């Protein structure tokens, strides 16, 4: 396996500008897991800037070390992980961008890689699910977010960062009996939002459930997911703004970094087909607080994938 450079020879603030200083896709013969950047934020409804998220997460990942003691795995030794760079997607034509993302993920899957995507706004989850469901059929979606993202439209537009999971449900991409939101909080437009969300196939674990500890959340999550393929989608605004200020639609009362990372580690043994981390907007970040959190989320997801 080709991994990051030896930090005793090349300091972690130097070396490749890839995620965790991993080799590029074109530097390895085969990759089990590909890191793919999608610098796209044409679907945002409030603060823009998530198009710069992939670069920010990569820059914030340099300090990551190769061994994960919480899960007892060295993910870059257990699996060949490579950085596939960024997709060039049309910022002025959302349907064209969705097609390009679907094609890009499909190409990596055809070469045998699971894909961890760095966004970008949450619109990108829809074409990724289209690519994966074409292979596996409906997938359980485990969605960490302050928001439901199952609204119908914004200003008549069907494809935005608030609509991907409604479209995915309507298109038959998700497993209606196994999908779940975690971390939802804040005001809604009305009670109908929750009724529509349930009809689309999701259960909800609100952020305030963590007041009773992480164990109950983990038990409910694993019970809902059961057996079968899972796609994990992490909107960084699932974290409280104290832990992730650099995002487009912040909501008070969110998860701590420790709670999110602990919940992700509990996915060990699940069949993860892929994952994304979205809505990192570096213009609103400072001291790399959000970037570091997102990099560690990616590392835990890679570790879980390495164990499968």
R_g of the chain computed on alpha carbons? 18
| Tens digits of residue pLDDT in 175-224 | 999 999 999 999 999 999 999 999 999 999 999 999 999 999 999 999 99
Indicate if the pLDDT at residue 1 is higher than 90.
no
Phi, psi of 202 (to 5 degrees): -110, 145
Show me where the domains of the chain are located. 19-307
Length of the chain: 308
For the record, the structure tokens of 182 come out as 């975690």
| Tens digits of residue pLDDT in 84-113 | 999 999 999 999 999 999 999 999 999 999
| Tens digits of residue pLDDT in 48-84 | 999 999 999 999 999 999 999 999 999 999 999 999 9
Indicate if the pLDDT at residue 157 is higher than 90.
yes
| Tens digits of residue pLDDT in 214-269 | 999 999 999 999 999 999 999 999 999 999 999 999 999 999 999 999 999 999 99
Indicate if the pLDDT at residue 283 is higher than 90.
yes
Q: Which fold has domain 19-307?
A: 3.40.800
Indicate if the pLDDT at residue 308 is higher than 90.
no
């Amino acid at each position: 396996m080709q991994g990051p450079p030896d930090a005793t020879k090349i300091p972690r603030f130097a070396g490749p500008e890839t995620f965790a200083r991993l080799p590029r896709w074109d530097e390895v013969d085969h990759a089990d897991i590909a890191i793919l950047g999608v610098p796209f934020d044409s679907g945002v409804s409030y603060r823009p800037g998530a198009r710069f998220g992939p670069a920010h997460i990569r820059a914030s990942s340099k300090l990551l070390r190769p061994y994960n003691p919480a899960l007892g795995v060295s993910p870059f030794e257990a699996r060949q992980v490579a950085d596939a760079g960024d997709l060039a997607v049309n910022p002025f034509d959302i349907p064209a961008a969705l097609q390009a993302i679907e094609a890009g993920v499909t190409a990596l899957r055809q070469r045998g890689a699971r894909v961890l995507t760095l966004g970008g706004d949450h619109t990108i989850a829809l074409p990724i699910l289209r690519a994966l469901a074409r292979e596996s059929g409906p997938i359980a979606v485990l969605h960490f977010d302050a928001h439901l993202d199952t609204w119908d439209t914004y200003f008549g537009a069907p494809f935005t960062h608030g609509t991907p999971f409604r479209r995915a449900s309507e298109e038959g991409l998700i497993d209606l009996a196994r999908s779940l939101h975690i971390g939802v909080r804040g005001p809604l437009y009305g009670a109908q939002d929750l009724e529509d969300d349930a009809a689309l196939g999701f259960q909800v674990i609100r952020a305030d459930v963590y007041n009773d500890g992480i164990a109950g959340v983990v038990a409910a999550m694993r019970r809902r997911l059961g057996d079968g393929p899972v796609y994990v989608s992490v909107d960084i605004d699932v974290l409280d703004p104290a832990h992730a200020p650099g995002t487009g639609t912040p909501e008070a009362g969110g998860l701590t970094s420790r709670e999110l990372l602990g919940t992700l580690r509990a996915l060990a043994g699940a069949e993860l087909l892929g994952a994304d981390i979205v809505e990192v907007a570096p213009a609103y970040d400072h001291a790399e607080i959000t970037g570091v959190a997102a990099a560690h989320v990616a590392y835990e997801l890679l570790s879980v994938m390495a164990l499968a």
